[in-house]
Structure 1
Amino acid sequence: MDEARRLRLLNEWQHGFPLVDRPFAELGRAVGASEDEVLDAFRAGLAEGVVSRIGPVVAPRRVGASALAALAAPPERLAEVAARVSARPEVNHNYEREHSLNLWFVLTAASQDALDAAVAAIAADTGLQPVVLPMVEAYHIDLGFDLCGISAYRAGRREPVKQAARLASSPPCALPGIEQGLLQALQRGLPIVPRPYEVLGERVELSGALVCAFIDEWLASGLLQRFGVVVRHHELGYTANAMCVWDVPDDKVGEIGHLLGGEAQVTLCYRRRRALPQWRYNLFCMIHGKARDEVLATRAGIAERLGLDQWPHEVLFSRRRFKQRGACYLPDPEPADV
């Protein structure tokens, strides 16, 4: 398959992956390729690390518990501490960043108690106390990447279900057993076979049609942010990745956060709880780019438009990626890939 069609497969179905019996055949018809060629392209993408999976991105706080956390690891221990943190099954992302809090990781677990236990285990194992920053409001969670310089990757997007205001007060939903089993099976992504929903359904005693119906319902209700191709940004050249943070007054952060989340270049935007005195910032966004200067210029333009830099702020670029995989909110019987 030529590069243009391969990029279309990665770009245009990050949202709105077909919920039909033979989705790869449908993609083939759209790009002018056979079903086998499409399957081979996705298998190659997985093998090369460009594709993480084809599957769900769960909305924050809708299932289980999650948090961003950070450690101040002595430089001489950083690699060792990072390995200990990455070994935890609850950890799905783990990065070195440019800050005295130099190791940043995301944890997900089936419950808040399980998450708290994982944090306590990391503290005991490393001898370092994590700074834990739970999400309060989500303004924009996507992590889709426009690989072709156009907006086609957004074509399959639904209108987002408004849920930021209820994050702080609503407990995660308790999925019925049959749905819980399906979401657990989906966490690692669709099998790359002609009829993936049938194969997935066999694992949890559901028909392929019912699997598709559940996914469609979860998208409509906002349980899932999106369902589609999840790419790895580093392997696609997005190596200049900045976490931009501000200390915004609490009575203004919601209004500013919604504006910031609406900026086209922002891939993630949310409010997190402060952890004083170690961490004063409550508004976060991620800007991913291919060059540091490009990202800094983008950030400066956004900050000027929104008047953000009247408040204390910092920019934390990623240095090293120690772990990146899909979040596992439910216990995963398979070994985690690092």
Structure 2
Amino acid sequence: MPRQAILPAALDATGFRLLNEWQRDFPLEPRPFARIAQAVGAAEEDVIAAYRDLSAQGLVSRVGAVFAPRRLGASALAALAAPPERLEEVAARVTREPAINHNYQREHRYNLWFVVTAASRAQLEEVVAGIERDTGCAVIVLPLEEEFHIDLGFDLKAGGEGRRPHADARSDEPIARGDADGGCALPALERKLIGALQGGLVLEARPFATLAARVGLTEGEVIACIARWVDEGLIRRFGVVVRHHELGLEANAMCVWDVPDAEVSGLGRRLAQEAAVTLCYRRRRVLPGWPYNLFCMIHGSAREEVLAARADLAARLGLDRHPHAVLFSCRRFKQTGARYLDAKDLAHV
């Protein structure tokens, strides 16, 4: 079932291409915006100005790296059941935590869902403990156990005609992990580069040179390092990171099933191939309150569109023979890029 972004009326054909075509495969060269300008038939300075404007409008979160989960630091999806009368208070406490990069209200007894990223597992546990202490709400932590599709790109063409196959969904190779503590085992200088990359590139003619000056490397070294990380899979994709809400994909549901352990990998790989699915992975159950282990996200312009897409794929794959739930997002309290390394970590680099 296709999903379609409802783009701003003022967005012209060039603006659409700038949003859609460089969500991945961003030019890793000294003047990347000049290369993009050549492709769209515009001037370099106009492309840079357009990206600045798209960022100011909230359509672009950043231009930069989406790091692969479990390859860098520690991260987990987490949730809590906030008393309805305290939801905004609890959400505010979660949001102000720097380690939280997504924080959503969803339709469920567990009504607040957030993603925690940290330099190590110990730091992640410290963040969770602080939230529990300050809110009085028990947190369930659902680490990623197997990924079937995690890309965070959105094809904006009607019906998703240009959508790429999920190459990662067809892979049977195990996903590499960090060190035994879930921390970053990269050399100090590379950790410093990751720290500088977390917020995205500066939108100027030679962004990699600016990045290099911040971390004490040459421009060529920075580009080569990023290219290597893309090849190795440490960076899932490098490019324009768009905001789906602002692009009209306002309805999203986290669809979950309790699948027998012997079946979940096969079903997950099949589910990840579906055009409607934007994320798909296996996470740890937390019994007795959370029995589900197979997750996928479906985005659409309206609730009915998402429900229709879910019903279609569930019927074809026979998913609903397993216990299941659908958790629509109600409110977005926070959405930023993941920050695995904070200032405290980088101070020792």
TM-score by length of 1: 0.94
Determine the structure 1 residue equivalent to 2:45.
36
Map 1:304-315 onto structure 2 (within 5 A).
304-315=315-326
**Paired AA for residue 25 in structure 2:** G
Match of 1:68 among 59, 70, 77: 77
Structural mapping, 1:1-338, within 5 Å:
3-149=12-158, 150-152=160-162, 154=164, 162=171, 165-166=174-175, 171=180, 172=182, 174-332=185-343
Rounded Cα–Cα distance in structure 2 between residues aligned with 1:132 and 1:188 = 25
Distance 1:169 1:260, change over 3 A: farther
- What do you get for the CA RMSD once the two structures are aligned? 2.1
Contact map agreement 1:50 1:236 (CA 8 A) in 2 = yes
Which consecutive unaligned segments of at least 5 residues does structure 2 have?
1-9, 345-349
1:160 deviation in Å? Answer: 8.0
Seen in structure 2, the aligned counterparts of structure 1 residues 45 and 169 have a Cα distance that, compared at 3 Å, is closer
Aligned CA distance change for structure 1 residues 153 and 194 (closer, same or farther; 3 Å): farther
Say which SS state the counterpart of residue 143 (structure 1) adopts.
coil
Question: Per the alignment, in what secondary structure is the counterpart of residue 308 of structure 2?
Answer: helix
Displacement over 4 Å in runs of 4+: 150-155, 157-164, 167-173
Q: Tell me the distance in 2 between the aligned counterparts of 1:298 and 1:105.
A: 24
- In structure 2, do the counterparts of structure 1 residues 164 and 139 end up closer, same or farther at CA, with 3 Å as the change threshold? farther
Report deviation, 1:164.
6.1
Contact 1:12 1:152 in 2 (8 A): no
CA distance in 1, matches of 2:314, 2:179: 31
Describe the shift of the 1:220–1:327 C-alpha distance in structure 2 as closer, same or farther (beyond 3 A).
same
Aligned residue type for 1:93: H
Cα deviation, 1:129-154, whole Å, max 9, x if unaligned, reads: 11111110011001211112355464
CA deviation string 1:175-194 (max 9, x = no partner): 11111111110000000000
Q: Structure 1's 58 and 206: CA in aligned 2 closer, same or farther, altered over 3 A?
A: same
Counterparts of 1:232 and 1:264, CA distance in 2: 19
TM-score (norm 2): 0.91
Q: Which amino acid aligns with 1:261?
A: A
Q: Aligned in 2, Cα 1:228/1:332: closer, same or farther, shift over 3 Å?
A: farther
Number of equivalenced pairs: 333
- For structure 1, which runs of at least 5 residues remain unmatched after alignment? 334-338
In the TM superposition, residue 304 of structure 1 has moved relative to its aligned partner by 1.1
